[in-house]
A and B are shown apart, each in its own frame.
Chain A
Amino acid sequence: MSTIVSIHSYRGGTGKSNLIANLASSLVQQGKRVAVVDTDIQSPGLHVLFGMDPQQIGLTLNDYLYGRCSIEQAAYNVTSKLGPDVPAGGAFYLIPSSIKASEITRVLREGYEVNLLTDGFRQLIKAFRLDYLFLDTHPGLNEETLLSILLSDTLVLILRPDQQDFQGTAVTVEVARKLKLKKLLLVVNKVLPKLDFESLKQQVQEAYHAPVAGILPVSEEMIELGSAGLFSLKYPEHPFSQGVREIAAQISSTV
């Protein structure tokens, strides 16, 4: 039985891709089989965290959606990026989206058939015997986001302690509930370390009537890393990395 997890935010720049890459890594390090699909086809970036040079990326999700390859052919085994300590059985696959301007504008112009994407997810789960399929989404509410939410067993909504994020997240929660969401978790990211995390957690939980899976601190090290790698591998004892492991545990417990 596999679990589909969408990571979403109402606004951009919340740290969605960083969170998804680190969360997925954490589960792989527990011996799970995980794939991450960059469904943010309009502004893909997940591949950067895995050190994939855009010029060297071969087949992508776009190639699959336009009938040029199978979804398995667009999947890259990135398990080795986690180092030698991945337990036996653990596996990590990344399905990147194309960073070519012509491919992005094609999606904007033509869209794609929803059946193809959902069939592709089912095929990935079967072919790679996945425990978890993570979907990185485009920020905001649009047709593609609604689909990701509907397909998810768990939706992780990430927000910053910011009034615009608070209001937008309320709208997203309302729409997600209309889609009969199975499980909703909230994550507050980029929080100033001087704030009272426990008090913030209580406030957010009460505001949205949903559990907060983690409060993650803003950190200079993260800014310095600049998406050039997986933060939790480089700084495993950092409060951010500890927070990610706690969120991963809550995702696991929802299965």
Chain B
Amino acid sequence: MSVFDSLQPQQDRRDNLPERTMADVLALPEDLHTIMDYLIEQGESELAEVAAHIGQDETSTRALLSDLIEKGFVQEILAGTKHCYRVRLVSRRRIRLPLDL
């Protein structure tokens, strides 16, 4: 089993996540909404930065971020050697329009 095989379930899970837009952000509970606003403005942030912004400890913040990841709003990325969080949003949901339009 190659390393790519082991990553496949994660990739499949990501592919199955719903596309999220700003309208979905508006419907989030206050604490999650606040994190999303911060991440959109910052581009990407580390756990400690998010925790400082919302005024909670890192354990609680990690739980909130995990919730956002699970719901498809946030992704964890490696920026250099730092683990960062970044939003995963599309401008709008894809719609079916004829390709020749």
Q: A residues within 8 Å of B by Cβ?
A: 101, 105, 107-115, 117-119, 122, 142-144, 146-147, 150-151, 175, 178-180
Instruction: Report yes or no: B23 in contact with A146, Cβ–Cβ below 8 A.
Output: yes
Q: What 0/1 readout, one digit per residue, does chain B (1-38) give for beta carbons within 8 Å of chain A?
A: 00000000000000000010111011000000000010
Instruction: Report yes or no: B97 in contact with A114, Cβ–Cβ below 8 A.
Output: no
Interface size class on chain B is 20 to 34
Q: Which residues of the other chain, B, contact A107 by a CB distance below 8 angstroms? A: 91
Whether a CB of chain A sits under 8 angstroms from the CB of B48 is: no
Give A54 to B48 CA distance when docked, in angstroms. Answer: 47
- Chain B nearest CB from A164 CB (Å) reads 22
Picked from B25, B40, B95, the residue with its CB within 8 Å of the CB of A108 is B95
- Chain A nearest CB from B80 CB (Å) reads 16
In this complex, what residue of B is CB-closest to A113? B90
Whether a CB of chain A sits under 8 angstroms from the CB of B82 is: no
At the interface, is chain B mostly helix, strand, loop or mixed? loop
Assuming the A-B contacts A119-B43, A146-B26, A178-B26, are A108 and B87 also in contact, with contact meaning beta carbons closer than 8 angstroms in the complex? no
- Chain B nearest CB from A139 CB (Å) reads 15
In this complex, what residue of A is CB-closest to B96? A109
- Chain A nearest CB from B33 CB (Å) reads 9
Q: Which residues of the other chain, B, contact A175 by a CB distance below 8 angstroms? A: 26
Instruction: Report yes or no: B91 in contact with A151, Cβ–Cβ below 8 A.
Output: no
Give A113 to B43 CA distance when docked, in angstroms. Answer: 12
Q: Which residues of the other chain, A, contact B37 by a CB distance below 8 angstroms? A: 150, 179-180
Instruction: Report yes or no: B91 in contact with A143, Cβ–Cβ below 8 A.
Output: yes
Instruction: Report yes or no: A111 in contact with B90, Cβ–Cβ below 8 A.
Output: yes
Give A105 to B96 CA distance when docked, in angstroms. Answer: 11
Most chain B CB within a 10 A radius of its CB, from A107, A115, A122, A144: A115
Please give 14 more A-B residue pairs, beta carbons under 8 A apart, in addition to A109-B97, A114-B89.
A108-B92, A109-B95, A115-B88, A118-B40, A118-B43, A143-B23, A143-B91, A144-B22, A144-B91, A146-B22, A146-B26, A147-B22, A150-B37, A151-B40
